[in-house]
Amino acid sequence: MKHTPLTILFFLFFSLYFGCLAQSQDKYTEALTIKKLNKNKLLFKFDFNTISKNPNYQNYFLFPKTFGNLVKENSLEYLRFSLTQGMYHLKYGEIGRYSPPGGELIATFETKEDLESKFRTVSRKISGIFGTSQKFSDLTISAQPFYTEFNSLESTSQRTHYSSLPREPVCTENLTPWLKLLPCRSKAGLASLLNPIKLYDLFYHSMSVEVTRSQENSLSFHQQLLLVVELKEFKFSQIFGTPLIGPICPFSSQTKIQIEGFSDYSSFTPTPEEIGNNQVGFILKENLNKKDFNLHYSPKEKTNNNGYNHNNIGNDNSNNGNDNNNNFNNNGINDENISKNQSIKLNRFLKESGKIRGGVITQITNLEKNDLHLTLYDSLPWFMRVYFHTLTIKSNFENKEIEITDLNLESEQGNESNLFANQASLLRIQTSQDHGRPSIFELALVLKPGETFQISVDYLKGFLNFEEHPFDGNRGFDIAPAIVSMHGKKQNLKKRIYYTDSLLLMLPTPDFTMPYNVMTITTTAFLIWYGSFLNNLTGRAGLKLKKKSKAKWIIKPDKF
Amino acid sequence: MILQLSLLLLGILLRAVTYHFGLTSVYNQKFEYVTPFTSFDNLVEAVHLMSHGTSPYGGSHFHLPPIYLWLFRWVDQDSYANWGLRIIFILIDLICCLLLFLIIKQTLGQQKNKMLNAKFERILPVAISSIYFLNPFTIASCLVYCMGNFTRLYILLSIYLALNANLVLSTFVLSLAAYTEVTPALLIIPIILLCIKQRSQLFKAKINQNKSQVKRTQEKQKEEKEEKEEKKQQKTKQHKNSNTFLQWFLGIFLFLFWWVLLLVLSQLMFNSKFSNFKININDPNFFQHFFSNNQYFTFLKHTYFFLLNITDLTPNIGLYWYLLTETFVVFRQFLVFTLQFINVIGLIPFTIRFRSYPLFLVAVITSSITILKAYPTLADFPFLFCILVMQPKLLEKTRYRAFFIRGFQVVIGLLSPFYKIWIQDGTGNANYLFGISLSFSFGEILVLMEMIRSAMIVITNEKDKKKEKNSLQYYISTKKKKSSQRKDK
């Protein structure tokens, strides 16, 4: 066999390539978690993790270069971006970190200077990467939550900026760039299951990107896709359109499928195995490629389903507004709409009569067996002009109103030991500005087991110019959900973040069809003002004097 | 006297009864009485924010200058049932009513040619002041603690003081009105004119007294007397000329002085971190603190700029809200500037035409300010009427009185339902309310124009009479001269 220059070159490149592989410290893992939830829901959670140790921000191997540059240029410590379709309710079960409907962007920077301008550049780059709207940097929605901890980093309170767009549409255009960030794209590995046509038909769909720079100088890049399906039995080819065909991604150091929460593992074909750490599932190796991996699940006895709640398929959406109001005094615990391991129950709704004044009511119920320490972050846009003097908290215990202690901690940050000294304390108020920043309040709450807090605040609606209304003005405005974060230092609970429901606010709309008519008619009134006073003051000819006015029959001075 | 007292008592009783039966909560929902500028809820919110160490102007609720915050720093949400506050607002209305009574009585007393019969004249002050005090609009605005009541009180008080030729106090009270709502600042010119006129009248009256004394004592020495009289007249003329200039200068200076003083005072209050209003002059860093803070007069943005720029588009009975909702944002600044400038532009021709009738000038300027307000309430309507009727002889010349009365009945009756079908029920759209509020303002404009027209008629009548007199006197004097010349010949 002749050693042609081409083959020599080929070998040279190959050796270089493997040399790079050996040198780079990037580690990439893939995982799919299938979990059974309440109410016939199934969760498919795709996790793609890239960890790069000691990054030099110049040579990138598996870590995406765009995000490496983003982190370096803007001195980011943490970034999370998610696009979500559908609303996830806690009654389906806890699934860890999830996202509110629409888009959400959280960024923690190294320093707290120029936070807004930095956030603006980051948000523009992110929306450039994922093809979303540029509104994340809009001052009317973005703000700083001081007491909500979005990540495990320490003392991030003043360096974090948050913005959420509840009305951001999600489509395949956003998924394609997301898939391109993977080392194998959607050609191989678990990502080959992600068929955009099938994904957007599902009950809940949330894709997110999370970049964390830890203190040991390692960057982790976590891409997650949450899919919630409403099915009793499933097959990969049924949900995703294809079975898992392609080869396993060669860069992945571990590719596994994990199965949780099912009572009968024997109804799976192929049958799952133990994969360590008390986990059940499959570790995919290259030999699985020979035949298509089409996971199939069909429960043998459909009557024996522990985690299922019967007859609730149709009633899922009944859990709104007034129903909860009636449940307020029932401790909330006997409610059907609660899953087994749920530690908190959240409701949120509007009370309105007429289109001008109203109130936002948030209900939080503690379902744990010990006290819960929570902070609530509520941000309302400027056109909901909040009356902070109407902020009240009511407890279902003895149906009493709870006194809110005012802790103005803005001056002295980080003093968190006092945070939960009282049952309810107001941590922070930010007043809104017209056409500007939103109004924000943050509360620290201590809930006893079984206790429900009803937090209500009144607002007055602002009126918008007709150009400021969206094109479907009568649909209403989506209001981003409040964020409840659990501070569980004592109870060995993880720091968790929950989102309440997002709201739909109806604003009184002007008539969009006739701006010119209004302008002309009103300015005519002004013109008559001008014209008649000029006429009266100057036109002596018009004053042909009548010595006696004819209309005598209204005031007749002689008859007094 | 008994009639007056009983009417006053009736007004107070009506207010007390409506307060007692909690009609406040009913009227608090009505857009005719509660505007972003006058709302009491907003004051409560501002006080609450201040107690939390936040700026009271945050949240775009509160738009009154800081002294009101200091005055009402004790109010809270339960203050709607507070009798102290209720009594304050009843007193404001009561004082307004008494001032109207006194103003009209004084103007009727000063009239030279009495066109009305004596009985009518006697009853008129009581009638007009009780129209103001007893009508449902004023009572409703008293019920909802309308902050616009203050401006009305200041304007009436300053007119009354000017009628008594008290320049210093009337400019002070007017500066209070301007401090609250900016636009009443335009009233400074008619108020000074009124002061000057009243002072010269008082001076004349004194001289007349002197004259009569002189007449009695020195009736026989006619020739000497004539000489003296001539000298005195010359003196008074000189005195008058120098005095007018001084009064103009003093009036404008005093007005600006009071206004700036109030603004500086409120800046000092505002600077001390909202929570405590004590001005600590002993603090060595006091001036440093005052000057180092770059945010001078930030409250102006939320008070005066808010009123002039009309940032809040909440529906009211005025002209601007729907126009600015429906205009393209590009034209907004132009339109706001042009329309707000009407008052300033109108000031010049009105002043030139009615310079010798300052009381009517005051009425015209006040009503034009009231009509073109950014956030008017329905309580401004009876105020407008009473201000225009301060000179009752003008009423005789107005036309279309039946049309106006019926028209206002219909329009005011329709305001509330049209608001309800848009905002509460959602069955109608914004055009209903726009149409009705436009016709209300249009009606007010027509009334004002009618009053100006009748004033012009009265003025030209008077002038013609003077001319006739003068020509007659000239004719007689020339005839006398001719006849004497003939006699001489």
pLDDT in tens, A245-274: 777 888 888 888 888 888 778 888 788 888
CB nearest A389 (choices: B48, B446, B453): B48
The C-alpha of A329 sits at a distance from chain B's nearest C-alpha, in angstroms, of: 27
Q: Which residues of A touch B397 (CB under 8 A)?
A: 549
* Residue B112, pLDDT score: 59
The C-alpha of A60 sits at a distance from chain B's nearest C-alpha, in angstroms, of: 48
Q: A114 in helix, strand or coil?
A: coil
* Contact flag A510-B325 (C-beta cutoff 8 Å): yes
The alpha helices in B136-166, defined as continuous H runs, are 136-143, 148-163
Q: Mark which residues 276-305 of A lie under 8 Å from B by CB.
A: none
Q: Which residues of A touch B73 (CB under 8 A)?
A: none
Residue B281 located in a structural domain:
yes
In whole angstroms, give the CA distance from residue B176 to residue B188.
12
Residue B231 located in a structural domain:
no
The C-alpha of A539 sits at a distance from chain B's nearest C-alpha, in angstroms, of: 10
CB nearest A355 (choices: B322, B325, B423): B423
The C-alpha of A457 sits at a distance from chain B's nearest C-alpha, in angstroms, of: 12
Lowest mean pLDDT among A221-225, A321-325, A434-438, A511-515: A321-325
A521 at interface of B, judged by CB pairs closer than 8 A? yes
* Residue B242, pLDDT score: 67
Residue B240 located in a structural domain:
no
Residue B234 located in a structural domain:
no
Mean pLDDT across A301-309:
46
In whole angstroms, give the CA distance from residue B175 to residue B255.
6
The helix-helix angle for A65-73 and A115-130 (nearest 10°) equals 170
Contacts of A388 (CB under 8 A, 6+ apart): A429, A431, A439, A441, A457, B45, B48, B49, B52, B59
Q: Mark which residues 98-137 of A lie under 8 Å from B by CB.
A: none
Q: CA geometry: angle at B359 spanning B355 and B361, to 5°?
A: 50
A560 at interface of B, judged by CB pairs closer than 8 A? yes
Q: Answer whether residue A153 shows pLDDT above 70.
A: yes
- Per the structure, the count of domains in chain B is 1
pLDDT tens per residue, range B464-483: 788 778 777 777 887 888 88
Residue B217 located in a structural domain:
no
pTM summary value: 0.84
* Contact flag B350-A537 (C-beta cutoff 8 Å): yes
**pLDDT tens over chain B, length 489 residues:** 788 889 999 999 999 999 988 888 888 888 899 999 999 999 999 988 888 878 888 888 899 998 888 888 888 888 888 889 999 999 999 999 999 999 988 888 776 555 556 777 778 888 888 999 999 999 999 999 999 999 999 999 999 999 988 899 999 999 999 999 999 999 999 999 999 988 888 888 888 877 777 766 666 566 666 777 777 676 666 666 667 888 889 999 999 999 999 998 888 777 655 444 444 555 555 555 554 454 567 788 888 999 998 989 999 998 899 999 999 888 899 989 988 888 888 888 889 888 888 889 999 999 999 998 899 999 999 999 898 888 777 877 788 889 999 999 999 999 999 999 998 887 888 999 999 999 999 999 999 988 888 888 888 888 778 877 877 777 788 788 888 888 777
Q: Please name the residue that has the structure tokens 């003005």.
A: A473
Q: Answer whether residue A363 shows pLDDT above 60.
A: yes
**Which strands, in side-by-side order, build the sheet including A268-269?**
A234-235, A296-297, A268-269
Residue B191 located in a structural domain:
yes
* Contact flag B48-A466 (C-beta cutoff 8 Å): no
Domain with B181 in it: 2-206+246-397
CA A268 remoteness from chain centre: 33
The C-alpha of B265 sits at a distance from chain A's nearest C-alpha, in angstroms, of: 25
Residue B227 located in a structural domain:
no
* Contact flag B452-A549 (C-beta cutoff 8 Å): no
* Contact flag A560-B123 (C-beta cutoff 8 Å): yes
In whole angstroms, give the CA distance from residue A188 to residue B92.
81
Q: Which residues of A touch B37 (CB under 8 A)?
A: none
Size of interface A-B (CB pairs under 8 A): 173
CB nearest A354 (choices: B315, B401, B423): B423
A543 at interface of B, judged by CB pairs closer than 8 A? yes
The number of residues in chain B equals: 489
A557 at interface of B, judged by CB pairs closer than 8 A? yes
Contacts of A29 (CB under 8 A, 6+ apart): A47, A48, A49, A252, A253, A254, A255
Q: Which residues of A touch B419 (CB under 8 A)?
A: none
* Residue A303, pLDDT score: 46
Residue B237 located in a structural domain:
no
